[in-house]
Copies of this chain bind each other. A is one copy, B any other.
Amino acid sequence: MAGTELTNIRSPRVKAARRLTKRAFRDRDRAFLAEGPQAVREALALDGVTVELFATAEAEIRHADIIGAADAAGVPVLRVSGEVMAELAQTVTPQGLMGVCRFVHVPLSEAVPSGARLVALLAHVRDPGNAGTVLRTADAAGADAVVFTDASVDPYNGKCVRASAGSLFHLPVATGARVEDAVRHVRDAGMRVLAADGTGKATLDDVDLSVPTAWLFGNEAWGLPPALLELADEVVRVPIYGRAESLNLATAAAVCLYASARAQR
């Protein structure tokens, strides 16, 4: 349990954690912030991931189970004022718990071993909320891994972590590989590569989704550039039955990943 409450946003430990809201510092420290009871609980379930935990007095009472789990794991708990938490959380309604966590990603070869059956590759996904939602959806659909390529948002971005709703800690995540290398790797691992793009001639109903499949997802606004479409075995679009021009990226990914998950079962 925490001792004195930290009330100064300039205290060294708060400042050190606060810097992790910036990617350069995350990369330097190989650490990131995970906010809220759901993310913290999932982080604590993994050995050695949580470095320290910030908690408001109110959260210590409400989430006594999580504080207990931190104590049992030897993770220091620092009590902070609401003001300090707001500074760390950068949200309008901070949830009172903030974990400082070590990076959890793994090498591509470990994330996608031979025999993997369903993988999501994020090629140019730039909105962290979208990326986190795809991560959560891939987890729900039982995907083996999610690969954030070097042209995509940082998986440790606070909004991405929040949108992933704990899934960042559930399934293997790889990050930083070039799209071309990631595609080559998943193909070598025995997977068919399908690019999800509105320009596809084939629709979801035209392809055999029961085989091991890696889905390649592109940018929110402009999809996948021709050079990346060419990397795929097939370009597949989600059929538009009505008058919408397109689907939101996270929505399209959900339809694709679930179509695969259901076909593989």
Contact = CB atoms under 8 A, between A and B. Distances in A.
12 contacts: A38-B245, A136-B251, A137-B251, A140-B241, A140-B242, A165-B244, A165-B246, A167-B242, A171-B243, A205-B262, A251-B251, A258-B259
B136 A244 contact: yes
A166 interface: yes
A253 to B, nearest CB: 8
Interface residues of A, number: 38
Copies in the complex: 2
A141 interface: yes
A240 B139 CA distance: 8
A186 interface: no
Interface in A20-37: none
B247 A248 contact: no
A242 to B, nearest CB: 4
A242 B205 contact: no
Contacts of A139: 242-244
Contacts of A46: none
B140 A247 contact: yes
B167 A244 contact: yes
A254 interface: yes
A142 interface: yes
A136 B141 CA distance: 22
Nearest to A262: B205
A255 B205 CA distance: 15
Contact of A240 (B140, B239, B242): B140
A14 interface: no
Contact of A140 (B38, B166, B244): B244
Contact of A242 (B141, B238, B259): B141
